[in-house]
Structure 1
Amino acid sequence: MTKWIPGRMKSLVTFKRKYMNSLVQSSLTNREPLKSDILSTNLSQNVEQLKTIFDRSSDIVYRDFQFGDLQKGIIVFLDGLVNMKLIDDDVIKPLLEYGKNPLSQSILCFEDLENFLRNQVVSAAQLSEGREFQEVIDHVLGGDTALIIDGVGQALFISAKEWESRSVEEPATESVIRGPRDGFTENLRTNTSLIRRRLKTHQLKMEAMKVGRLSKTDLVITYLDGIADESMVAEVRERIGRIDIDAILESGYIEELIEDNPYSIFPQVQYTERPDKVTGNLLEGKVGIIIDNTPFALIVPVTFYGMLMSSEDYYERYLISTALRWIRFTFLLIALLLPSLYIALLTFHQEMVPTTLLFSMAASREAVPFPAIIEALLMEISFEGLREAGVRLPKPVGQAVSIVGALVVGQAAVQAGLVSAPMVIVVAMTGISSFIIPSYSQAISIRMLRFPMMILAGMLGLYGILLGLLIIISHMCRLRSFSIPYLSPMSPMHFGDLKDVLVRMPWSNMMVRPEETAKKNSKRMNNSFRSRRPNGSK
């Protein structure tokens, strides 16, 4: 018993020490910075409190100054998020120059002080005020400069934001032959200005919100007032407002948190780097979501057919755009069904293959030890791996490695008798077809659906393919994107909207906007346009 007590006491002491350390760490990590505390009229107390809050933050800069003989003040800003030249020229220099004359002692209430500084001292364009420490923290961490003066229990926030950002460039993921070459950047205000340049109307609304408890990521909900459905805009606003997460690092966070069915393989929110694509969707009554720190903007609601359209469809003549759409739809079916059809025909339905072709395929498969389903799965998985490796490798060698790897591996596999030559052709055609789909997220969903379709074809033949198609179509019929049916306007049928689905009619025939999204203002073009055409045109 005497031997047990010291060991037991030692373990209890160790447990208590670990428990207290965990409490201290949790209090440090979960501590919220004094949301209810109000700025004091004592400058030294305010500075001491701010230095406690921004403890171990070497990038927080405190610059004190003095008005005349008695009045003192300090500016607080975050190094790296502000324009130092603006602070020097518009804030510090005017304050020091005015300090040569004594500051009037009657200016002690903040309203007078704010007007006095705004009109006579500080020459910055954007100024705001606040009383609480939390406001000071939010503004400073957001890139603003906080001006605090002794004797006044409020702060003046001066906007002098500037940070390193990428210049406007052509989007790498959505290149076009004909169309604008500018793309979104990681700067929120740059992205909103790109849309403002295209829509010079007061109807373009941009509502600002913040998401993320720690990141406090800025985002903008943009739409055209008078065209977008107010209930849809309210639904977007409500879904984003429900998000309660520590940080938003990219638009993918928002996309997954606001879509109707996150367990579906089909994307219900569209993302794009192109300002003209966002603008075109806004004109159809849709809503755009622009997030800071990412070049990808979100568009809601979306449909399956809308994800297959390119912005270039509306820049080329309608006959060319219609032909390109049919090619796109055809290769979509090839990307989904070609390996499955190959497996089904070779395994169950050889009588449907022409005799000469069947003999040729049988001869090429004579040395292959695997059934068609195993052969197809091996080749498709290898192709997806090579494609992913080409994306992750450095750009100078990524494309070369992926192309050379596919050629070398494919040729070596055929010579070794592991796969047949027709299978290599099928896999190559399938891979090329998946690249034709304009939306990358939609292309990934088609690529992933290819594998269960291949398994069904290997088990049931053509019946398995039909069963898989029925499951996919029934699932898509149940999907909705912000209350809009995913297969609209085909299901439910809207005959007026079919002018811009499988075909792209001339602009003179598309005088109304889509019925599902632009219920408030459906007219796009006046009917008098046709009467003003030159003689002889119809």
Structure 2
Amino acid sequence: MKKFFNSSNISTSACIYTQKLPNSEESLPLSKSIADNLNILHSLFSNCTDIVCREFVIDAIKRSSALVFINGLADVKLINENILTSIMNIKEIPSEDLALNHIIEITKKHFFKIANTSEISTIGEVVYALLNGNTIFLLDGDIKALKMTTPGWKEKNVSETNVEKVLRGSNEGFTENICTNISQLRRRIKSYQLKIEEFIVGRQTQTKINITYLQGIVDDSIVKEVRKRIQKIDVDSILESGYIEELIEDTSYTLFPQIQHSERPDRVAAGILEGRVAILIDDTPCALILPATMIQFLQASEDYYERYPTALFIRLIRLIFFGISLLLPGCFVAIISYHKEMIPTPLLIGILGAARGVPFPILIEALIMEITFEAFREAGIRLPAPSNQTVGMVGAIVIGEAAVRAGIVSPITVIIIAITAIASFSIPSYDMGYAIRILRFCMIFLGGFLGLYGIMLGVILILIHLSSLRSFGVNYLSPISPLNLKEFKDIIIRFPWWHMSHRPHYASDSQRQKPYLKPEPPGKNKEDEKRQ
């Protein structure tokens, strides 16, 4: 046995595959000569010290052979114990098996104890298999090779998501391994109708992408559209789900997200059960869920785990804070600038008295404080976890107090911006939160230049824009526009589970459950019988 490709000093990191195979080599069939096949692999993986090849002769069949794998991607211990040991221990092959047409069939039957073993026949398949942690077995005199699944890289264990935290419900989050993520969905949806289709995207990264849906429930036209858009992608690299999101969304020039993403398997499974499609991307814990409507970005997983009165209260509070986050600073600037008569006289006197000595107009004050709070928010994300909250809170308090004492801003402006910042944290989706934060600045400018008329103009323009958006053919404001009263059971309020018997209208099978009557308290029927 020997190693080649300058492998005397094996690197622990995999070689970066920096060139897409030319079409001539990608479809080039394997040669019967093992030397020719190894020479092609040597030319493709030149200057890659982590490519390992072990050449040896199998005594039982008197043939030269080789095992090729990437050190760091493949499990070397598994290769030594389950593959090489089994090859060396067999000294004789039964005569009836020697009559097989392909020698590769003999080796597959007698030598290997790896469960996932398959035949491949082109150079492109060999290269892709190696870059995914598989081991390739080449045999002299055969035009096929064996691919054995032997991944050995380190993976992050399943842990709690840091973004979508809940008080009640599953604490599991997706990992960077797409196979682990699929198994988490399989555990939650135990149905043969759960379909998983694989695509390879990215000329350099060769990223594995799976689309997942529930056959019979999802609309076939949505699945076809997802396939079509993914197959059209022709880029060098896919490193995160955000690449796919931008490449397949309906409208790029909008602040509002049209595809929902989540790190929670239970949330993705819930979306699939509602007739939506999930996209899982290898090497990222974020899954994409589509189609998406605006109301889904204002809903959280806990809305369905708590009893419906609690969920109703939380949703109403969330919607109120959503409006505050978008409109409060702009309305404050508009009223102080143009509509002072709307404020009660005692409160107006207090506001004007506190603002005495401030050199800037209210518009500039609001912009100064808003930009300052945005800077603290961004700094809190970049700081280490143990100190980000402390620095953010202390910094905001100190800067706000110092700004008031220095006469840069008035106390009421600090209060308004602080309430707005707190309200923005109630939005469950970070993507929607970013959109609202940007639009808040637009509302401040409209309020500062046009007053409440500008605020109303901004709201109307936002509604017109939202009405024009689509997410894979589904109206973004659905079911509010166009109006669908059947789906209002899970929009602003959430009805009890026994009352929600239908899926969203874009699902192929709209019947979620059979009509179910609310159970009556025990003893009620007996009392009625006594009265009768």
Same fold (TM over 0.5): yes
Whole-Å separation in 2 of the counterparts to 1:258 and 1:295: 19
Any stretches of 5+ residues in structure 1 without a counterpart? 1-27
- Output the CA distance in 2 between the equivalents of 1:283 and 1:508: 16
1:114 Cα deviation after fit: 3.7
Matched residues in 1 for 2:429 and 2:350: separation? 37
Matched, 1:83 2:75: yes
- Partner residue, 1:146: 136
Distance change (3 Å), C-alpha of 1:369 and 1:80: same
Q: Could you report, residue by residue, the CA deviation over 1:278-330 in whole angstroms, capped at 9, with x for unpaired residues? A: 11111110110011000000000011111100010000000100110000000
Q: Which residue of 2 aligns with 1:192?
A: 182
- Matching residue's letter, 2:338: F
Partner amino acid, structure 1, of 2:486: G
- Measured in 2, the distance between the counterparts of 1:162 and 1:40 equals 29
In structure 1, C-alpha distance between the alignment counterparts of 2:93 and 2:510, rounded to whole Å? 64
8 A Cα contact 2:466 2:476, kept in partner: yes
Closer, same or farther in 2 for the Cα pair 1:117/1:228, shift >3 Å? same
d(CA) in 1 for partners of 2:494, 2:268: 19
The match for 2:432 among 425, 429, 442 is: 442
Looking at structure 2, the residues matched to 36 and 301 of structure 1 have their Cα atoms a distance apart, in angstroms, of 36
| 1:456-495 equivalence runs, <5 A | 456-495=446-485
SS of corresponding position for 1:429: helix
Q: 2:378 aligns with which of 383, 388, 391?
A: 388
Secondary structure of 1:280's counterpart equals helix
The residue type equivalent to 2:514 in the other structure is: N
Partner of 1:335: 325
- Is the Cα–Cα contact under 8 Å of residues 479 and 488 in structure 2 kept in the other structure? yes
1:40 aligns with 2:28: no
In the alignment, residue 390 of structure 2 is paired with which amino acid?
A: A
Matched residues in 1 for 2:95 and 2:56: separation? 16
Q: Tell me how far apart the structure 2 counterparts of residues 318 and 399 of structure 1 sit (CA, whole Å).
A: 32
Cα deviation 1:207-261 (Å, max 9, x = unaligned): 1111111111111111111100011111111111111101100000000111100
Task: Report the 3-state secondary structure (helix = DSSP H, G, I; strand = E; otherwise coil) of the residue aligned with 1:178.
Answer: coil
Q: Quote the Cα distance in structure 2 between the aligned partners of 1:247 and 1:386.
A: 33
Indicate conservation of the 8 Å contact 1:386/1:405, yes or no.
yes
Give distance in 2, aligned partners of 1:177 and 1:39: 56
* 8 Å contact kept, 1:272–1:296: yes
1:284 is aligned to 274
Superposed displacement of residue 533, structure 1:
7.8
1:124 equivalent in structure 2: 114
What residue number does 1:175 align with?
Answer: 165
Matching of residue 159 in structure 1 with residue 123 in structure 2: no
Partner of 1:414: 404
Superposed CA RMSD in Å reads 1.9
Aligned with 2:124: secondary structure? helix
How far apart in 2 are the matches of 1:86 and 1:105? 30
Q: Aligned residue for 1:525?
A: 513
Quick one: distance in 1 between partners of 2:139 and 2:171?
48
CA distance in structure 2 between the partners assigned to 1:536 and 1:142 by the alignment: 64
Which amino acid counterpart does residue 195 of structure 1 have in structure 2? L
Q: Which of 418, 421, 431 is the equivalent residue of 1:431?
A: 421
| Partner Cα separation in structure 1 for residue 197 and residue 112 of structure 2 | 28
How far residue 116 of structure 1 moved from its aligned partner, in angstroms, is 2.1
Aligned 8 A contact 1:390 1:398 in 2: yes
Number of residue pairs aligned between Structure 1 and Structure 2: 506
**Contact in 2 for aligned 1:65/1:96 (Cα 8 Å):** no
Deviations 1:433-491 (A, max 9, x none): 11100011001100110001100000000000000000000000000100000000000
2 CA distance for matches of 1:208 and 1:396? 39
Greater CA drift, 59-68 or 294-303: 59-68
CA distance in 1, matches of 2:432, 2:185: 25
SS in 1 for 2:188: coil
